[in-house]
Each structure stands twice: as C-alpha cells, then as structure tokens.
Amino acid sequence: MSAAERAGEPAARPAPEPAGDMDGPWSSTVRRDGAGALSVGSVPLAAIAEEFGTPAYVVDLDDLRARSRAYAAAFEDAFSAENGLAGADVYYAGKALLTVGIARAVAECGLRVDTSTGGELAVALRAGVPGAHIGLHGNNKSDAEISAAIDAGVGRIVVDSLAEIDRVEMLAAERGTSVPVMVRVTTGVHAGGHEFIATAHEDQKFGLSLASGAAAEAIRRILARPALELVGIHSHIGSQILDLAGFEAAARAVLTLRADVHREHGTLVPEVDLGGGYGIRYTGTETVPPSPALIASTLADVVSRVCTEVGTPVPRISIEPGRSVVGPAGLTLYRVGTIKDVALGEGRSRRYVSVDGGMSDHIRTALYGAQYTAALANRAAPAGAVPARVVGKHCESGDIVVDHVALPDDVARGDLLAVPATGAYGRSMSSQYNLVPRPPVVGVEGGGARVLVRRETVDDLLGLDLDA
Ligand code: LLP
C-alpha cells in the first residue's frame, strides 16, 4: 500500500494502454505509434493539436459508427419475430453529445434520435433525421418545443406530467392533428453506478409515479383524448449503470402496468421504452460494461418471460442509450501549462498539472466527483511516474479534470494530455465560465480529421454582448 493509500486516498494509476477494443476508456482506433505518441483513427493527436489547437474534443466517428451499428444489429437480432418478439428501435440520446454530423452518423447506422429540448430537436432535424424517428422528452417542455415537435411529426412526445397532457392535446387540436405520446413512468427502481437499489425513488422531478397511481391516471386521461394517441410506456432508471438487474426490474414493472391497462381499458399499448443508462469505463478499473449484444439478449429474455407471465402479447421495445454510444468514442486533448509540486506532509506530494481548459469544458469531475484518467499524447513516457492531479485554468480550486492519475515524472509544459471517455456529457455540459470560449469538436474518420463544431472565439463572446 502506498503512502497515499494509507492516507485514505485512492492510488494514482497510469492510464491503461489503448487496447483496440470496445470495452476500455479509449476509442477502439486509439493506438500508440512506434515513437510512443498516441493517434486516433491513424491521425496523430499531435497533428490534431497542431491543426485545430487545444483544448479540443476529438470524436472517433469510425468508433461511434461501430458502437451505433452494434446496438442496431444486436436489438434487431434479439427482438426478431423469429425469437417471438415484435422488434426494437434504438434511439441515440442526443443529450450526451449532439451535432449535425453526429446525428447523421448515428442515423446512417440505423439509430433514431431522442431529444430533450427544442435545441436538440432542431439539430436532429437539420441533420435530416426523419421526424418519425425522433422522440421528445422533458419535464418542463415549453409550448414552443411541443409545437415544434408536432410540426416536425415526431414519432413520440414523452409526457412527463398530468398537466402536460392538456397542453399537448390543446396544441394538437389547434393543428387539427393527433399526436403520438408515451407516458414516462417512475417505476420505483433507482439505479446508478455499480449498484442496483430497488427503492421507491419518488422524490425527484421526472415522470409519473407507478406507486401513487399517477401513471395509471395519465394513461386513463390520454386514452380519453381523441387528439392523443398512446403509443408507449416509458421508463428510464438512471445513468452509468453497469449491472443489468435494474433494467430487468423496471421492464417487469412497466410490462405489468401495460397488462393492467389492457385489462382495465382493453387497449394494448404497442411499445415499451426501457430508457438509457448503460455504463462505460472511464479509468479502466471499473467492471466490464455490458455489450449491446448482452443488453439486447437480457432485455429480450425479460420481455418474453414477463409477457408470458402476465398473458399479453409482446410489445415493440425501444431503448435510449447516450453515454455508451458516444462516451468512449470521444477524448479531450489539452496542452500542459503550469506545473506545481505541492507538499502534502509525511513526505508525500502531489504534482498539479494545469491544462489549457478545465471545468468549462469538463464539469463532470467537479459536479459528480467522476473519475477519469489521462495519458501523455505527444511522446513516449519514461518508466517513472508521479501522483498527479490534472487541473484547469479556472478561478476555482474545484476545477479538477482528473483527480488522481500517475503521469510520467518528466511531464512538462507544452506536452499534450489526452483524457479518454469524454465523448458523452463533456461538450454537451460545457459552459463559458470565466468567459473561456468552448473548444471545437473535431471528428476523425477514414484516416482524416475535420471540424464538426468550430472553436468559439472571444469575438463570439463579445458578439452576444449588446453593449460591446
Ligand atoms: N433517456 C432519458 C429519458 C434520459 O433522461 C437519459 C439521461 C438518457 C436516455 C440517456 O442516458 P445515458 O444512456 O446517456 O446514460 N449528465 C449526467 C447524465 C445525465 C443523464 C440524464 N438522462 C452525466 O454526465 O453523467
């Protein structure tokens, strides 16, 4: 045990080497070349830094496509009619990272797109995703967002409250149309991280409670409104979940509700959406994440079993993964600036390695205590390693990118650091804190790199300020 571990701190480990697989924090095309530098999709990260500057979000589009295809194929196979099931659709949860190029890439691979705001909806539509292949979520949708979704002919608006039923109906009636809706049900299954805790997780803002009867009441009301077509029941239990038991419990709950609705109203709700939330590895030390094939076969099995038990035909199934589609496909490239060795007492010290971004482009460490790793990207690393903390350039001591990682002890100003697994909820949760313009999103595919979203500039910041 190291002195740091004795002091109650986790060990600082080096980043795992890129393994060319789909299970680790690195995208599957990341490699170390003969000289020890990192490349993605055969493009050296140093060349990306040179051409596009740092910090930069780098998305491996070939890897993103491979993950998207794996989901589409796994769900098509597992939910086939041959298996006695009624098909399945995979909606990419755009909240993880949505640009026009990314929406096009996932749609080309057979995924649909789940949106949760008018902004995400507009990007999906601009990408050419058919309205019928888009869903709209949100616990507080504006009339403008609902109207935009109806006008785009979205395949489903996921109703999140009783009051929203009236608003969607009114906006549909104004247009003389009927609108496909799902009901988001809070099943009482709360899951997250490595744990599955079955608990009545009622005290939060999303969905309509199964336990209180609000979900059944929403369904009753929707069935009585001619302008609303009940196309599904929806459940989303949490995020970064590595254990599939919670999904099975939630599937059981919503399929049982569907059977109750059938008995009470004679209506067989055609679809059940089991949400997103599948976890990934951020540091390589986590449990191996479930593959799309394992997720699909596990869900297909529970859907068949429960429908047999409750005596209803199987519904069409959908899921909404975000993180597990785009998370490992992305990394953030930073340039090292100030380095400080800080004495911690008892002979221990920590090297603070500052990079040219921070909590404005990477909030998850500060917000959730999320663990990441980092590796030198521009050259080989010598054997020695020092416990380091990678920090940003913002005016907060909580501005931490990687809390603890072993970095080569010759890490120096001007080196490049790559932080893997930042594809999901990195760029999408970024801010302009301290008026730091956002980094670009650089896509790598077919051996080349191109900008998907350009870097913001100080002129962009001043352009929004009408006193400037
Ligand atoms: N569907 C619904 C209804 C959701 O609320 C979410 C995520 C997803 C799908 C996609 O979940 P995923 O497969 O990406 O886990 N900002 C947090 C994550 C918040 C997720 C919110 N909802 C983070 O950075 O970890």
**CA of residue 324 to ligand 1 center, whole Å:** 10
Which residues, other chains included, contact 267 with Cβ-Cβ below 8 Å and sequence gap of 6+? 223, 230, 261
Q: Predicted confidence band at 198 (pLDDT cuts at 50, 70, 90)?
A: very low
Distance CA 79, CA 263 (A): 25
Ligand 1 neighbourhood includes 39 CB (under 6 angstroms): no
Q: Whose CA is nearest to atom 17 of ligand 1?
A: 425
Distance CA 449, CA 454 (A): 13
pLDDT digits (tens, 9 = 90+) for 36-77: 999 999 999 999 999 999 999 999 999 999 999 999 999 999
Beta-carbon neighbour count of residue 188 at 10 Å?
A: 17
pLDDT at 7 (0 to 100):
64
Beta-carbon neighbour count of residue 467 at 10 Å?
A: 4
Distance CA 370, CA 372 (A): 7
pLDDT at 383 (0 to 100):
74
pLDDT digits (tens, 9 = 90+) for 16-41: 999 999 999 999 999 999 899 999 99
Q: Say if residues 272 and 251 touch (Cβ distance below 8 Å).
A: yes
Which residues, other chains included, contact 166 with Cβ-Cβ below 8 Å and sequence gap of 6+? none
Q: Whose CA is nearest to atom 5 of ligand 1?
A: 236
| 197 pLDDT higher than 50 | no
Average pLDDT over residues 335-359: 95
Ligand 1 neighbourhood includes 115 CB (under 6 angstroms): no
Ligand 1 neighbourhood includes 389 CB (under 6 angstroms): no
Ligand 1 neighbourhood includes 276 CB (under 6 angstroms): yes
pLDDT digits (tens, 9 = 90+) for 371-396: 999 999 999 988 779 999 999 999 99
307 noted as active-site residue: no
Phi, psi (rounded to 5 degrees) for 135? -115, 150
Parse the chain into domains and list their residue ranges.
3-61+328-463, 79-325
Q: What is the DSSP string of 50-76?
A: HHH-SSEEEEEHHHHHHHHHHHHHHHH
Provide the phi-psi class of 187: left if phi over 0, else alpha when psi is between -120 and 50, else beta.
alpha
Quick one: tokens of 133?
């292949």
Within the chain, what is the greatest distance between any pair of CA atoms?
A: 75
Quick one: tokens of 359?
């909590």
pLDDT digits (tens, 9 = 90+) for 400-430: 999 999 999 999 999 999 999 999 999 999 9
Distance CA 240, CA 337 (A): 32
**CA of residue 303 to ligand 1 center, whole Å:** 22
Please state which CATH class domain 79-325 belongs to: alpha beta
Distance CA 20, CA 38 (A): 12
Phi, psi (rounded to 5 degrees) for 253? -65, -45
| 196 pLDDT higher than 50 | no
Please state the CATH superfamily assignment of the domain spanning residues 3-61+328-463 in this structure. Lyase, Ornithine Decarboxylase; Chain A, domain 1 (2.40.37.10)
Provide the phi-psi class of 84: left if phi over 0, else alpha when psi is between -120 and 50, else beta.
left
Distance CA 228, CA 223 (A): 7
Distance CA 96, CA 323 (A): 6
Ligand 1 neighbourhood includes 277 CB (under 6 angstroms): yes
**Ligand 1 atom with minimal separation from the 428 CA:** 16
Q: What is the DSSP string of 366-409?
A: HHH------EE-SSPPPS-EEEEEEE-SSS-TT-EEEEEEEEET
